[in-house]
Amino acid sequence: MDLVKKNEVYTIDITGMTHEGQGVGRIDNFTVFVDGPVEGEKVEIKIIKVKKSYAIGKLLQVLEPSSDRTEPFCPSYKRCGGCSLQHMNYEASLRFKTNVVRESIRRIGGLENVVVHDTVGMEQPVNYRNKAQYPIGRYKDGIRAGFYAKRSHEIIDCATCTIQHSVSDRVRAVVKEYIEKNNISTYDEITGEGLVRHIMTRVGFKTGEVMVVLVINGRNIPSQKKLVDRLVKEIPEIKSVVLNVNTKRTNVILGDENIVVYGRDTITDYIGEFKFNISPLSFFQVNPVQTEVLYRKALDYAQLTGKETVFDLYCGIGTISLFLSKKAKRIYGVEVVEAAVKDAWENAKVNGVENAEFIVGEAEKVIPEMYEKGVRADVVVVDPPRKGCDEAVLKTLVDMKPERIVYVSCNPATLARDLKYLAEGGFEVREVQPVDMFPWTYHVECVVEIQRSESSK
């Protein structure tokens, strides 16, 4: 496209937003994507990349700002790849997320008459994360511990992060200073050498308990007792310090082996009335306040009377299963990660839940096998990873014809794809409730009520 040239400066109107929060405009009907603008703004941009069907622009200045624009509260906002919506006010970010869900269901799912409610936001959308993961590395300007820059693995040093629990900043500061003063090596992704890879924290919001996990390319840290003593002295909420061994050349943060060097191997927290033991490797929703909102809506949509057999697919450590257990006859949780299933059994035991059973395996294999053996569900809850449900799972649901399906999703695109399959297979998608689990980011969680249609009964 000769009309749009790299390094040229243009003025464009932002007429839309991508699902990741990029502004969308056009130059002579040629699409341009730009980080930073808000829909409705007129901006000046510099073209930094030209492809066959689109171009990428860099925001130079906002000529006509939107009333939804606000000043980002984080000094690292422009470089850090964590939050992407801080340049718009919170109410506008909620409207953006609702629109992403509606458009996905209409455009990808082909569903026109589905009720999509407004996204449920937080009263205080700050300090909401109960888990922080700080990559750490040595640069010419010293040790950096923080977050990766956008579309990069360059570490941006962040002394404070407003979306993390404040105790995580304190842990990060102590560990960073200790590594710097004691000249301890940090991991280099290119060479595979160096010791400390990540600092991870987990916080029990209702218990106040803190776990510190140091991910290392080895099995110990020089003078680690001094580090542990200092951590515990300065941050008395710490109940566990763990070395996580990860010696692989990989971008995966955690290794499989944990060495407890202080306190317990788990901390505890609650979602609603249910108590959970959380280990370094446990999957546990990172926003406990909104998790309770999400799960209560899932319980509403399940419409349990105490007589139902429920399948909870991709059940993790059993959080949704336990929430449903008091109103169901029987719960079967299915999860591929063996450690998570072990945690699920333990969490059921801790909470006195006796009507839940947890099975290790891939949902796409376990569910058809159970169905063939005559075990069928009245209600199915699915909470798959970002890639959505495997088609074998959806096919079994269509064959099984449960009364209701409750779909919990972290990806509107794959959600819409799966809803289309279910709608074509005899189910009616009733309503969708988006929940803002990750304020200031483009991510949105949804819970969907799906009923078997009258014609397929």
Q: Can you tell me the distance from the alpha carbon of 322 to that of 274, in angstroms, rounded to the nearest whole number? A: 7
Q: Can you tell me the distance from the alpha carbon of 416 to that of 418, in angstroms, rounded to the nearest whole number? A: 5
User: What's the length of the chain?
Assistant: 457
Strands 30-34 and 23-27: antiparallel
Known active-site residue 410: yes
Catalytic residue from among 80, 83, 410, 446:
410
**Joined tokens for residue 220:** 């110990």
**Which residues have a catalytic role annotated?**
410
